[in-house]
Every structure is written in structure tokens, then in C-alpha cells.
């Protein structure tokens, strides 16, 4: 169980960073909405799990946050990408693309190609 959530958290972290990269400073609810919109119903993740990840990313210095007012004038914590976060996003994007490319090539190979 632990391992499965680790993988998800890793990916979720990447999604959070990418969202912040695209949208700029954003509060948690906004990030959750965005992830939901993009992934549609495909990603069945409890929104609650987002917050510990945000907290962790902040402890790691990838994001920074401060209290601000939302569009409806509600109090909300806004997250933005730091320089370190940007770098980490680039690195992780590269890793991710590499991984998917390799996995994709494995899927392209048919049994006959190996003989």
C-alpha cells in the first residue's frame, strides 16, 4: 500500500510543479481543480492528499507560499514555484520523458521483432 502511494505522490508532485509552472501562483484548491480538469476522471485521487505534498515540496524548497486573498476574497494560501522548483521541474520532466520513451519503445516492440 505504501509503495503504491509513493509512486502516486511522486507523480502528483510533478503535476503540482507543472501546474504552478503553467498557471503561476495558485492556491491549493486551484491546483486541485486544475489537476482534476486536465486528468478528468482518470485520476481517482483524494484531493486531500494534495496538501501534505504541498507541505513537503515547500519543506524541500521547490515551492514557496504565503497567505493571500482568493478571487472570491476568501483567505487562501498561494503557492508559487521557486527557482529550485523550476530546476527540479525541468529535471523531473526530462526523467519522466525518458522513462515514458523507454517504456513506449518496449510496447512498440512486437514479439516477432526480437527473432
| Residues near other proteins (CB under 8 A) | 5, 27-29, 32, 46-49, 51-52, 54-55, 70, 72, 74-77
Distance of alpha carbon 26 from its chain centroid, rounded? 13
Which of 72, 115 has the CB closer to other proteins?
A: 72
Which of 77, 86 has the CB closer to other proteins?
A: 77
**Minimal distance, residue 30 CB to other proteins, in Å:** 9
Helix (H, G, I), strand (E, B) or coil at 7: helix
CA dist 22 and 60 (Å) reads 20
Grid coordinates standing for 14?
A: 510533478
**Minimal distance, residue 113 CB to other proteins, in Å:** 43
Which of 75, 110 has the CB closer to other proteins?
A: 75
**Minimal distance, residue 18 CB to other proteins, in Å:** 20
Amino acid at each position: 500500500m505504501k509503495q503504491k502511494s509513493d509512486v502516486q505522490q511522486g507523480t502528483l508532485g510533478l503535476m503540482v510543479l507543472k501546474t504552478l509552472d503553467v498557471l503561476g501562483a495558485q492556491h491549493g484548491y486551484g491546483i486541485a481543480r486544475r489537476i482534476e480538469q486536465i486528468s478528468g476522471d482518470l485520476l481517482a485521487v483524494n484531493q486531500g492528499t494534495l496538501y501534505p505534498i504541498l507541505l513537503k515540496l515547500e519543506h524541500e524548497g521547490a515551492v514557496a507560499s504565503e497567505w493571500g486573498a482568493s478571487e472570491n476574497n476568501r483567505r487562501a494560501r498561494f503557492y508559487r514555484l521557486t527557482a529550485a522548483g523550476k530546476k527540479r521541474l525541468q529535471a523531473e520532466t526530462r526523467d519522466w520523458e525518458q522513462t515514458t520513451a523507454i517504456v513506449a519503445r518496449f510496447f512498440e516492440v512486437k514479439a516477432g521483432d526480437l527473432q
